[in-house]
């Protein structure tokens, strides 16, 4: 490009437009003898070989970028030393070859131009014509010469310019050649580097491929390892499971072995037992027979015992009266006492010496005889020992009534209910204990017992249910169970089944509390009311086809002393009436009256089944030793003596035959 800028525009135009014409002109100029340019300054005309090289170089200088690239590519080919001729592509050789051929073709064209134009042949004899023709030719040649001279001048100028340009081009060419050589060296270096890089790259590529393959293999291995790991886990679980099963099987086997050994032993023992069993069975059969025989004997004995017991009771009397003297309490130590003497097991003597200044001067001495006397030293157990045959009678099927009679503070409640602790238990809790203890023996003899309990209070001839804690009490009337009138019941009265002594004690405590609450509401009511604990015993013996129902009435009577206030007068009226009615009933029974006035008071009416011929009655007359209560004590003892003098007819058992 640099070259182009140094050429004159016209030349450049020619060169760019028609390179062959320029070359022709140059060749033509080389034939002009006047101009003898230096051989080296005339490009491409000395010999073909040089021309070829030069023209190649010239052409190389004016190579297009594409050719240069092509050339570069040829040089950047792998390091194989090419032969000079074979490395040049055929196309390029052809192009290079066209340059000399164009140069060579220039003289031919000049020759053709100098040929005379073809016209009619001048005969040899026509010298004039030939001369004219020669003149014409001479003119033409002369003109041509002039023309050529002008052109020569013109071309000489161009040549000079071209020469300068050529020189500068040669210089440039040299520089470029050097540059090209440098570039070629660099290129070779780069090519070598490139080749080594390429090799490296190839190697790296192979390595990468290797690595890739290895990665792939590794991935495969990892995947297979993962699978193996999963398989391993599964197998481990299976192994653990199998191990466990193995252990348990081992244990089971061991246990089985032990069991087998035991089984052998047991089998031997079983055989032995079988033989023993056979012997035992024979023994049992024999024992059963003996047992049945014994049972019959026991039954007979029990019956006889019962008969005897009741015979004794009958002989003793169905109304029995005991006297109990309570000891003074610590708080009553300073109270003056009257004298009393226990003459024998059944007689008591009380004595009071009246002061000389009193209206009734002298000694007041009274002797009373009862079925038994309990001194202040007698324990609750001593008392119950005498009472228990009555409870036994209730278990034998008799109606029984046990009274505690006496003035307020004489020890009635203590005797019937008792104090705290088992030792202090009175007749009521001891009776229930005895009933439940005997129940076991009766069960063995085929008796099934049902115990029901109710607690009531009679105050001023009104019945109160002590198992009902409501202030508003329902009406309680004494009614007949059936038309025979042998059995009675109290309407709206709660009756609880008791399964144990504990059940009964719980109910007793509940009844006591209800009675105490009523007492606080109504001044000292507890002392002025009759308290009745009813125990109903229902027994059935399926084997013997017998059943009975008996009542055990345990009565804590109201204080028997006369009242001093108006209210007390009213209470005393009721109490005295009921006690006198009780006395009347007992006397009527004693004298075998056709009419027994049971219904004259609530108490006698209620106790009717337990006071009649078909019952047993025990009265405990409680007295204290206080001098001040001497007269009341005397009254109590007189009342008890009256009762004691009454001897009932032989008691009848409530036994009935049952057809199951």
Ligand X SMILES: Nc1ncnc2c1ncn2[C@@H]1O[C@H](COP(=O)(O)OP(=O)(O)OP(=O)(O)O)[C@@H](O)[C@H]1O
Among 44, 559, 609, 612, binds ligand X (CB under 6 A): 559
* Closer residue to ligand X (CB): 82 or 419: 419
173: Cβ–Cβ under 8 A, 6 or more apart, which residues?
A: 57, 61
Phi/psi for 647 (5° steps) reads -120, 115
Q: Does 362 bind ligand X (CB under 6 A)?
A: no
CA dist 131 and 137 (Å) reads 9
Query: What would you report as the CA-atom Rg of the chain, rounded to the nearest whole angstrom?
Result: 81
Q: Does 560 bind ligand X (CB under 6 A)?
A: no
Residue whose entry in the numeric block shows the structure tokens 């804690």: 469
* Closer residue to ligand X (CB): 512 or 645: 512
In the complex, what is the shortest distance from the CB of residue 293 to ligand X, in angstroms, rounded to a whole number? 48
Kindly write out the interface string for residues 156-195 of this chain, putting x where it contacts ligand X by CB under 6 A and - elsewhere: ----------------------------------------
Q: Does 454 bind ligand X (CB under 6 A)?
A: no
522: Cβ–Cβ under 8 A, 6 or more apart, which residues?
A: 459
* Closer residue to ligand X (CB): 48 or 567: 567
Annotated binding site: which residue ranges? 406-413
In the complex, what is the shortest distance from the CB of residue 413 to ligand X, in angstroms, rounded to a whole number? 3
Q: Does 553 bind ligand X (CB under 6 A)?
A: no
In the complex, what is the shortest distance from the CB of residue 624 to ligand X, in angstroms, rounded to a whole number? 8
* Closer residue to ligand X (CB): 326 or 536: 326
Binders of ligand X among residues 312 to 341 (CB under 6 A) are: 326-327, 329
Annotated binding site for ATP: which residue ranges? 406-413
* Closer residue to ligand X (CB): 515 or 551: 515
* Closer residue to ligand X (CB): 414 or 464: 414
CA dist 646 and 307 (Å) reads 22
In the complex, what is the shortest distance from the CB of residue 621 to ligand X, in angstroms, rounded to a whole number? 11
635: Cβ–Cβ under 8 A, 6 or more apart, which residues?
A: 407, 560, 561
Among 406, 429, 609, 612, binds ligand X (CB under 6 A): 406
State the burial class of residue 298 (Cβ atoms within 10 Å of its Cβ: 0-12, 13-18, 19+): middle
Q: Does 409 bind ligand X (CB under 6 A)?
A: yes
* Closer residue to ligand X (CB): 43 or 559: 559
Among 42, 412, 525, 616, binds ligand X (CB under 6 A): 412
Region near ligand X per CB under 6 A, out of 38-46, 390-398, 402-410, 633-641: 402-410
The three-state (H, E, C) secondary structure of 524-586, written as one string? CHHHHCEEEEEEEEEEEECCCCEEEEEEEEEEECCCCCCCCCHHHHHHHHHHHHHHHHHHHHH
In the complex, what is the shortest distance from the CB of residue 376 to ligand X, in angstroms, rounded to a whole number? 6
Q: Does 531 bind ligand X (CB under 6 A)?
A: no
In the complex, what is the shortest distance from the CB of residue 567 to ligand X, in angstroms, rounded to a whole number? 15
Q: Is 586 left (phi over 0), alpha (psi -120 to 50) or beta?
A: alpha
Q: Which residues of 615-635 are buried (b: 16+ CB within 10 A; e: fewer)?
A: bbbbbbbbbbbbeebbebbbb
In the complex, what is the shortest distance from the CB of residue 516 to ligand X, in angstroms, rounded to a whole number? 11
The residue nearest ligand X at its CB is 411
For 289-346, the DSSP string reads HHHHHHHHHHHHHHHHHHHHHHHHHHHH-SEEEEEEEPPPPGGGTTS-B-EEEE-SSS
Task: Say if CB 588 and CB 595 are below 8 A apart.
Answer: yes
Could you tell me how many residues of this chain bind ligand X (CB under 6 A)? Answer: 16
Helix (H) or strand (E) holding 71: helix 65-75
Q: Does 429 bind ligand X (CB under 6 A)?
A: no
Among 173, 191, 413, 514, binds ligand X (CB under 6 A): 413
> Which positions touch ligand X (CB under 6 A)?
326-327, 329, 406, 408-414, 419, 526-527, 559, 622
């Amino acid at each position: 490009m640099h070259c182009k800028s140094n050429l004159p525009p016209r030349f450049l135009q020619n060169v760019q437009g028609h390179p062959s014409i320029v070359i022709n002109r140059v060749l033509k100029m080389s034939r002009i003898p006047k101009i003898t340019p230096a051989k080296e300054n005339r490009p491409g005309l000395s010999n073909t070989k040089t021309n070829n090289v030069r023209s190649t170089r010239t052409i190389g200088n004016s190579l297009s970028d594409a050719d240069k690239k092509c050339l570069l590519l040829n040089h950047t080919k792998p390091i194989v030393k090419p032969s000079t001729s074979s490395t040049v592509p055929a196309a390029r050789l052809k192009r290079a070859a066209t340059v000399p051929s164009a140069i060579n073709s220039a003289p031919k064209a000049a020759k053709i131009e100098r040929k005379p134009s073809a016209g009619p042949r001048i005969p040899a004899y026509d010298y004039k014509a030939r001369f004219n023709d020669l003149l014409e030719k001479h003119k033409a040649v002369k003109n041509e010469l002039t023309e050529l001279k002008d052109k020569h001048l013109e071309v000489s100028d161009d040549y000079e310019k071209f020469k300068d340009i050529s020189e500068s081009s040669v210089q440039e060419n040299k520089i470029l050649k050097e540059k090209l050589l440098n570039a070629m060296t660099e290129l070779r270096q780069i090519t070598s580097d490139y080749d080594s890089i390429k090799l490296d790259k190839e190697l790296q590529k192979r390595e990468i491929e290797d690595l890739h393959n290895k990665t792939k293999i590794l991935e495969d291995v990892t995947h297979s390892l993962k699978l193996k790991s999963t398989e391993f886990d599964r197998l481990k679980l299976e192994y653990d499971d199998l191990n466990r099963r193995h252990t348990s099987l081992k244990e089971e086997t061991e246990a089985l072995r032990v069991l087998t050994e035991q089984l052998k032993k047991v089998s031997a023992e079983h055989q032995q037992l079988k033989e023993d069993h056979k012997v035992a069975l024979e023994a049992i059969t024999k024992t059963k027979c003996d047992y049945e025989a014994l049972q019959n004997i026991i039954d007979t004995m029990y019956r006889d015992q019962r008969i005897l017991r009741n015979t004794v009771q009958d002989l003793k009397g169905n109304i029995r009266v005991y006297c109990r003297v309570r000891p003074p309490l610590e708080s009553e130590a300073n109270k003056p006492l009257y004298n009393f003497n226990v003459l024998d097991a059944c007689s008591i003597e009380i004595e009071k010496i009246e002061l000389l200044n009193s209206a009734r001067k002298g000694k007041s001495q009274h002797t009373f005889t009862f079925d038994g006397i309990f001194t202040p030293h007698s324990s609750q157990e001593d008392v119950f020992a005498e009472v228990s045959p009555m409870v036994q009678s209730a278990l034998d099927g008799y109606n029984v009534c046990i009274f505690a009679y006496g003035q307020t503070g004489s020890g009635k409640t203590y005797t019937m209910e008792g104090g705290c602790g088992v030792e202090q238990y009175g007749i009521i809790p001891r009776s229930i204990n005895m009933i439940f203890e005997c129940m076991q023996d009766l069960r063995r003899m085929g008796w099934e017992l049902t115990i029901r309990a109710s607690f009531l209070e009679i105050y001023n001839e009104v019945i109160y249910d002590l198992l009902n804690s409501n202030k508003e009490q329902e009406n309680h009337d004494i009614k007949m169970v059936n038309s025979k009138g042998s059995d009675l019941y109290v309407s709206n009265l709660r009756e609880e089944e008791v399964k144990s002594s504990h059940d009964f004690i719980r109910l007793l405590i509940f009844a006591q509390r209800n009675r105490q609450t009523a007492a606080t509401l109504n001044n000292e009511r507890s002392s002025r009311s009759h308290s009745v604990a009813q125990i109903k015993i229902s027994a059935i013996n399926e084997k013997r086809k017998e059943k009975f129902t008996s009542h055990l009435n345990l009565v804590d009577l109201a204080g028997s002393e006369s009242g001093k206030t108006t209210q007390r007068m009213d209470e005393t009226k009721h109490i005295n009436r009921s006690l006198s009615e009780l006395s009347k009933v007992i006397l009527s029974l004693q004298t075998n009256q056709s009419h027994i006035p049971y219904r004259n008071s609530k108490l006698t009416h209620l106790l009717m089944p337990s006071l009649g011929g078909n019952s047993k009655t025990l009265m405990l007359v409680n007295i204290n030793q206080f001098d001040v209560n001497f007269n009341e004590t005397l009254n109590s003892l007189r009342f008890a003596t009256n009762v004691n003098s009454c001897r009932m007819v032989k008691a009848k058992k409530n036994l009935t035959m049952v057809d199951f």
